[in-house]
Amino acid sequence: QDSAAVASEIGGSGTKPNPSSLAPVNLDHGDPTAYETYWSKVGERSTITFTGDQSLSYFANAKNLCWFLEPKLEEEIRRLHHVVGNAKVDDHFIIVGNGSSQLIQAALYAVSPSDQPQPTSVVSAAPYYSAYQEVADLLRSGLYKWGGDAYSFNKDEPYIEMVTSPNNPCGMTREPVVNRPQGKIIHDLAYYWPHYTPITSQVDYDIMLFTVSKCTGHAGSRIGWALVRDKDVARKMVDLMVISTIGVSKESQLRAAKILGVISDSCLLDKSPGLENFFEYAQHLMAARWEKLREIVKVNELFSLTEYPSEYCLFTKEFTEARPAFAWMSCKSDMEDIEKILRGHKILARGGKRFGSDPKYVRISMLSRDQEFNLFLERLSSIHGITSGN
Ligand code: PMP
């Protein structure tokens, strides 16, 4: 596509597409490749090998409520939460899932009342993670259905609220918004780690979802975990896991256990000679990216970025601002479709409408490799001027 075609597509007058651009830079997905360099420096310490006679059984620990959970993974999950201090784990069952995506389904299944004439509404405050709607509606379940923006939910009936904190897409700290006794709350804490946000308290909710994808960057291992207080809810979640996939790959679980062990060790001086603290590394990387992005947006006439308050982090023992995994960028003019403008400059990002918000917002992944991130900054800084307002 030549630059004239791009300009006409976005209806821009002062925009100038980058002539060196060929392929689009895709920051639509939150693919967390940013930490590859850290893991290549860790090298052999994070390696795990298997022999042919290992891990044949479906079972990992027949005595455990979650009988397919590898004991080593359970131990490393509990240790990491103790080291970081972000969530209480001692009174909770741990359930492992194929990513926290599968655990979202398991949690919806487990908390849905089974005695309702109609499917229970699943709500989340806009802007919300776009997958909730997809998961809630995909199978047209008789148990639950997508109910939209939690701010507009006013029915006097049972509901399930997804609370994502820090939030995907906007990075803000979130609390439930419906606050009625008939509600069940699922806390999605995929980003409640010190590289993304100040750890302001050790949270202790009934259902908390985490994932290695966003914590360590190992999205490809597909390991998530739920911390669940109530035994019956935990049992129902296990039922869903068993019926859908009869558990979770042991190779993945043992690899995740190894990786989580490395990052816990990296935080403890005596265990980690020569090992850089993972959270400090990732925090610096994210802070540097945010600083560069803010510099560009500050001198740009079209766009603006969400601001975050400085808060005391119990883990770093410093006041810091959030450095979210996604930038939630908006057009200063209400009339613009920012996703379209960026696409015209070969930057692919996810428009606000997918998150129950406005097309003047866009979500941009901050977790790509350096090369893609730098290309994004280069292309973003070439967008200037005032568009015609299509
Ligand atoms: N919850 C939130 C808020 C997310 O952003 C994501 C990943 N984009 C997930 C859950 C699912 O992560 P995974 O399935 O990779 O564990």
User: CA 366, CA 228: separation in Å to the nearest integer?
Assistant: 30
Query: Is this complex's ipTM strictly greater than 0.95?
Result: yes
99 lines ligand 1 (CB under 6 A): yes
Q: From the CA of 104, how far away is ligand 1's center (Å)?
A: 9
- Range 318-345 average pLDDT: 93
Q: Is 57 exposed, middle or buried (0-12, 13-18, 19+ CB in 10 A)?
A: exposed
Question: Which pLDDT value is given to residue 12?
Answer: 35
pLDDT range class, residue 273, cuts 50, 70, 90: confident
pLDDT (tens digit per residue) in 112-167: 999 999 999 999 999 999 999 999 999 999 999 999 999 999 999 999 999 999 99
Per-domain residue ranges of the chain: 3-38+277-381, 56-267
Question: Which pLDDT value is given to residue 250?
Answer: 98
Question: Which pLDDT value is given to residue 88?
Answer: 98
Q: Which atom of ligand 1 is nearest to the CA of 100?
A: 16
Q: Which atom of ligand 1 is nearest to the CA of 102?
A: 14
The pLDDT mean for the chain works out to 92
How far, in Å, are 47, 271, 310, 382 from residue 172 at the CA level? Answer: 35, 34, 12, 28
Q: From the CA of 360, how far away is ligand 1's center (Å)?
A: 24
pLDDT of 18 over the 90 cut: no
How many of the other CB atoms lie within 10 Å of CB of 141?
Answer: 17
100 lines ligand 1 (CB under 6 A): yes
Question: Which pLDDT value is given to residue 369?
Answer: 97
Query: What percentage of the chain exceeds 70 in pLDDT?
Result: 93
In this prediction the pTM is 0.93
pLDDT (tens digit per residue) in 356-365: 999 999 999 9
Q: From the CA of 165, how far away is ligand 1's center (Å)?
A: 12
Q: Which architecture does CATH list for 56-267?
A: 3-Layer(aba) Sandwich (3.40)
pLDDT range class, residue 385, cuts 50, 70, 90: low
167 lines ligand 1 (CB under 6 A): no
Question: Which pLDDT value is given to residue 14?
Answer: 38
pLDDT range class, residue 9, cuts 50, 70, 90: very low
Alpha helix (H) ranges present in the chain? Answer: 3-10, 36-42, 71-84, 99-111, 130-138, 212-215, 231-245, 250-267, 278-298, 338-344, 370-381
Q: Tell me the three state secondary structure of residue 363.
A: strand
For residue 135, give every residue at least 6 positions away whose Cβ sits within 8 Å of its Cβ, in sequence order, or none. Answer: 101, 104, 105, 108
Instruction: Tell me which of 339 and 22 has the higher pLDDT.
Output: 339
Q: From the CA of 211, how far away is ligand 1's center (Å)?
A: 7
As a CATH number, domain 3-38+277-381 is 3.90.1150.10
pLDDT (tens digit per residue) in 44-99: 999 999 999 999 999 999 999 999 999 999 999 999 999 999 999 999 999 999 99
pLDDT (tens digit per residue) in 333-342: 877 899 999 9
